[in-house]
Structure 1
């Protein structure tokens, strides 16, 4: 069921790692394939990271096939799920018989205990993130108009951006999943500056709205020993709790950020001085 499994890593595992090692450990690519659901599994917060591209057909969220103890059980038996439509076409998600329409940039929170999830919509591209949950909260569609919005940075520092908080306590209830969308203004390339770390949760970035020849240089590692991964359109990167996460692109772009852990407070982060980085 899972195309790849990513294991939790120690910061010392960055020492001496080749660029290919970094890509193998933290980069998730190839999620969005026509008429397929592609799922990967990360031991960091036990994230399931996936993509669904229904095309002219209908795709069903699979049931567990592994491990044997879970085989046949609904994938969301003890999990919550977020769905974000990053495609340019409208899509529909049917959750236990309830149909929800998602336009571009819309998100959907799907509660623990859901039995069946189906995806349709030519031109829709659904980004999927799921984590374990301890309670079921209401099904909820969230648009950019519903989200709490923050404007950060400036063109002078090349990081003017709008942050849309889609799944956070003041917008949508969840057990541990936090999610949002950030869009950079033309002329800006840095997605967060100054950078930060949050030891109490992992974070996942999906970079998109890039041209075919566009790239993002995603920086990670501990502040005193940074490394980078070169990423293309619709690539995903896993950021462990001990790692800085920030990126700079060849032009402006968008990214979906998702966090899970023991704290739902968006502001729970250790902000770093740029002079600390090396």
Structure 2
């Protein structure tokens, strides 16, 4: 298991960032390497992003040595989304089977987690978000069929999409973590349009189900001075509370969204008019 640390930045800081610096601070590119568990710890609301792709062997983690606690989840909760083939997640001896687009909520206090693929030919790709938690809640598997879908957008504006809530008060409770998956309708390219800010919550995006040659142009920064990242399949973007987040793809794609902050009010947002973007 590896743990990289990112310290975040203020809106004024990124005015001087070149492409390399912007990518190094906000883009996570190494989530899914074969037979590896990789985590990134960010001081932006102390979110941890993780990725694991067990191919030839099962992979175990759970130590908190990198964050100063006995276990990784001594004071944290965790969401695990399977973006690949079928696999298993074993939490302190209890086995959960995750099909593609199933999500597992792991509550505070879990000690050892082991992930495995059912087939090396179609390995599971486990994407993880972990945030500090102040309550103990039971582990829970949320199959795709039990998520809550919302139909959003308009095909005429190329932003028609289906948002599926998984770890959310209306589906599966948590302390502060929110997590779900959004799919764009055929022919649509824009996500999270129109853009918005949510000052009381940060967010992370993991883009997936993309062709190797495609990219998402992810827009970030303050509305009056935007920046962009070119994002490939299986890469994730950190979005601080002060930043807009929206993107357009060169081909079909989906993304996992994860949030944490002061509340779990999904609609606690400040819309930004497109005419105000610069």
TM-score scaled by length of structure 2:
0.96
Secondary structure in structure 2 of the residue aligned to 1:275: helix
Q: Which residue number corresponds to residue 230 of structure 2?
A: 230
Of residues 97, 105, 108, the one that matches 1:109 is 105
Gapped runs of 5+ residues in structure 1?
Answer: none
Aligned to 1:99: 95
Q: How does 1:140-159 map to 2 (within 5 A)?
A: 140-159=140-159
CA–CA separation in structure 2 for the residues paired with 1:234 and 1:226: 23
Task: State the Cα deviation string for residues 139-160 of structure 1 (Å, max 9, x = none).
Answer: 1111222111111112211111
Q: What SS does the aligned partner of 1:23 have?
A: helix
Contact (CA 8 Å) 2:82, 2:125: kept in 1 or not? Answer: yes
CA distance in 2, matches of 1:157, 1:231: 22
Q: CA RMSD in A?
A: 1.1
- For the pair 1:119 / 2:118, whether they are aligned, the reply is no
Say whether 1:211 aligns with 2:207. no
Q: Is the 8 A contact 2:62 2:73 kept in 1?
A: no
Find the counterpart in structure 1 of residue 133 from structure 2.
133
CA contact (8 A) 2:62 2:111 kept: no
- Structure 2 stretches of 5 or more lacking a match? none
CA drift of 1:232 comes to 0.4
Partner of 1:254: 254
Match of 2:52, SS state, is: strand
CA contact (8 A) 1:188 1:251 kept: no
Cα distance in 2 for partners of 1:42, 1:80 equals 15
Aligned partners of 1:2 and 1:41 also within 8 Å: no
Contact 1:167 1:178 survives alignment (8 Å)? yes
